[in-house]
């Protein structure tokens, strides 16, 4: 019969599979009659299959509970039982035909060696206590780093952002944080959570833009065992479940696909999630903080963001200001960042020269505080001094310098400095005349060929 069912598996291989010494298995039919006993079990029950075949399971083991599994049709996995005075882990599995009718059951013993169980339990205990330790450590690290004191800046828009954040932290309402990249949306979200009553529970961050579309649903809502092919056997909780009693931080929410937005809206209105393949919704208690660097109003107009979701998120609206709109705060933020780099490193630079600071204040910072932080980090790593000078800044920032008041740290040779100035003057003339060579030459009071020579010398020959 086995040949018909498994034409690709030779019968001797199947027999070897069933009889392998690591398999401790009893097979009964729907009436509880023993049909198969693996050799490991023959040894255990001190009997042979020939003697027990066709006899009732209770005759073999008066405590057997296999009949219950035949009756309920539900598997019982990982139960602990005592057999002949020793601990065992048992799995009882109903066997069904193609129509789902129970036709028998199998019992498998695992970890027949009790010392294995004890060892496993010990490992679990060690892991649990380590997890507990790391959770506490992480919490104290978080609460130290993510406080409002760690958000530098006191300009008006910054004060306003902090005011809204503190109000939001005292409530349990949804917060929407918007602002350009690198403006501190994530540290604000963390600071709000740390200041809220939920601080002892996790803040779970979901990056809505980096999860592949087809996985968002299972990531957010979780799945039950066997919900789809490839799903892990035990099922998995989603991020919302992990955030139960804490905060869920929906980062880059503006990038969430439309279909998911509808489901998200339902979850944050009902405080219930349905795991994929799950039968019953799970009630949860979470707080939502969402953030995006997208212009959500524009996304709504383009039909890429749901208006109802926007209204549901936009209860507290916190705007993180772009760095170029709070230039007066740049020195303060620079020194805040420098002091952070210092922690533990006494020799790191502590000062920024006035010239370098002036460049930092006037630069356009499209990457905001994150970009400023990177620039300072690089400057600190190349500086041999206690002070950061213009030369420690990247060229693109030095280039923003108005050349007339070039505050270089040390002047170069006169010849080189004159050449720099001359190049700048030629370039300015070309810019003003929109690249018209004749007019530029006239403006500078030199001959056209003279202008061409200078343009060539300074690499401006293709100026348009
Ligand atoms: N006001 C601030 N004071 C101190 N550090 C800041 C401030 N704003 C931002 N930072 C720092 O800049 C970096 C970027 O901040 P964050 O990750 O919060 O930005 P974001 O707005 O979430 O950016 P993105 O949209 O790119 O995700 C972080 O290292 C953060 O600590
Ligand atoms: Mg961010």
Q: Quick one: pLDDT at residue 3?
A: 43
Helices (H), 203-287: 213-221, 239-242, 258-270
CA-based R_g, the chain, Å:
35
Which ligand 1 atom lies nearest to the CA of residue 180? 25
Is 36's pLDDT higher than 80?
yes
Cα torsion at 339, 343, 347, 350 (round to 10°)?
Answer: 0
Domain ranges of the chain: 2-112, 146-321, 324-405, 414-457
Residues 6+ apart with CB under 8 A from 436: none
24: pLDDT strictly greater than 90: no
> Is CATH 1.10.8.60 the classification given to domain 324-405?
yes
In short, whether 182's Cβ falls inside 6 Å of ligand 1 is yes
Return the top range by mean pLDDT from 16-25, 177-186, 199-208, 210-219.
Answer: 177-186
Region 350-376: what's the mean pLDDT? 92
d(CA 187, ligand 1 centre) in Å: 6
User: In this predicted model, what pLDDT tens digit does every residue of 64-82 receive, in sequence order?
Assistant: 889 999 999 999 887 777 7
Q: Which string of DSSP letters, residue by residue, matches 368-387?
A: HHHHHHHHHHHHHHH--SSE
211 neighbors 197 (Cβ within 8 angstroms): no
Q: Which CATH number fits domain 414-457: 3.40.50, 3.30.40, 1.10.10, 1.25.40?
A: 1.10.10
Whole-angstrom distance, CA of residue 227 vs CA of residue 312: 30
How large a percentage of the chain has pLDDT more than 90? 48
Say what the pLDDT of residue 144 is: 66
| Centroid of ligand 1 to alpha carbon of 180 (angstroms) | 10
Index of the ligand 1 atom closest to the CA of residue 373: 12
Please determine, for residue 417, whether its predicted confidence score (pLDDT) is greater than 90: no
| Ligand 1 centroid distance, CA of 182 (Å) | 5
Ranked by mean pLDDT, the top range of 112-116, 301-305, 414-418 is: 301-305
**Residue 254 beta carbon below 6 angstroms from any ligand 1 atom:** no
pLDDT single digits (tens) 296-344: 999 999 999 999 999 999 999 999 999 999 999 999 999 999 988 876 5
Domain 2-112 sits in CATH 3.40.50.880: no
Instruction: Give me the CATH code for the 146-321 domain, please.
Output: 3.40.50.300
- Ramachandran class of 253: left when φ > 0, alpha when ψ lies in -120 to 50, beta otherwise: alpha
Highest mean pLDDT (candidates 131-145, 269-283, 395-409, 412-426): 269-283
């Amino acid at each position: 019969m086995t040949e018909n069912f498994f034409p690709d598996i030779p019968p001797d291989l199947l027999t070897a599979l069933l009889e392998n010494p690591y398999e401790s298995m009893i097979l009964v039919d729907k009436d509880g009659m023993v049909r198969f006993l693996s050799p490991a079990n023959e040894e255990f029950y001190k009997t042979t299959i020939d003697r027990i075949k066709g006899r009732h399971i209770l005759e073999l083991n008066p405590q057997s509970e296999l009949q219950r599994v035949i009756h309920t049709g539900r598997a019982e996995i990982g139960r602990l039982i005592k057999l002949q005075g020793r601990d065992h882990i048992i799995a009882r599995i109903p066997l069904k035909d193609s129509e789902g009718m129970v036709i028998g059951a199998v019992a498998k013993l695992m970890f027949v060696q009790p010392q294995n169980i004890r060892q496993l339990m010990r490992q679990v205990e060690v892991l649990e206590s380590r997890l507990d330790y790391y959770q506490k450590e992480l919490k104290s690290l978080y609460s130290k780093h993510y406080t409002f004191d760690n958000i530098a800046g006191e300009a008006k828009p910054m004060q306003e952002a902090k005011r809204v954040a503190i109000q939001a932290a005292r409530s349990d309402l949804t917060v929407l944080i918007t602002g350009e990249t690198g403006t501190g949306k994530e540290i604000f979200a963390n600071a709000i959570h740390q200041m809220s009553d939920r601080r002892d529970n996790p803040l779970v961050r979901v990056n809505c833009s980096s999860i592949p579309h087809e996985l968002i649903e299972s990531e957010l809502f979780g799945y039950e065992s066997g919900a789809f092919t490839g799903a892990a056997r035990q099922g998995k909780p989603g991020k919302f479940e992990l955030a139960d009693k804490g905060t869920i931080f929906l980062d880059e929410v503006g990038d969430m696909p439309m279909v998911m937005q509808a489901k998200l809206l339902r979850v944050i209105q009902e405080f219930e999630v349905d795991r994929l393949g799950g039968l019953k919704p799970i009630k949860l208690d979470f707080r939502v903080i969402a953030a995006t660097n997208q212009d959500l109003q524009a996304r709504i107009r383009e039909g890429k963001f749901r208006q109802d979701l926007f209204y549901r998120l936009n209860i507290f609206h916190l705007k993180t200001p772009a760095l170029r709109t709070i230039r007066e705060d740049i020195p303060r933020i620079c020194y805040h960042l420098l002091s952070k780099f210092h922690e533990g490193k006494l020799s790191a630079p502590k000062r920024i020269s006035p010239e370098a600071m002036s460049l930092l204040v006037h630069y356009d910072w499209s990457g905001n505080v994150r970009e400023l932080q990177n620039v300072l980090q690089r400057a600190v790593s190349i500086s041999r001094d206690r002070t950061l000078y213009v030369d420690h800044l990247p060229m693109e920032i030095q280039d923003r310098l108005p050349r007339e008041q070039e505050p270089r740290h040390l002047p170069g040779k006169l010849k080189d400095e004159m050449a720099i100035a001359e190049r700048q003057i030629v370039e300015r003339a070309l810019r003003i005349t929109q690249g018209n060579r004749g007019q530029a030459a006239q403006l500078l009071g030199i001959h056209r060929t003279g202008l061409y020579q200078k343009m060539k010398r300074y690499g401006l020959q293709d100026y348009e």
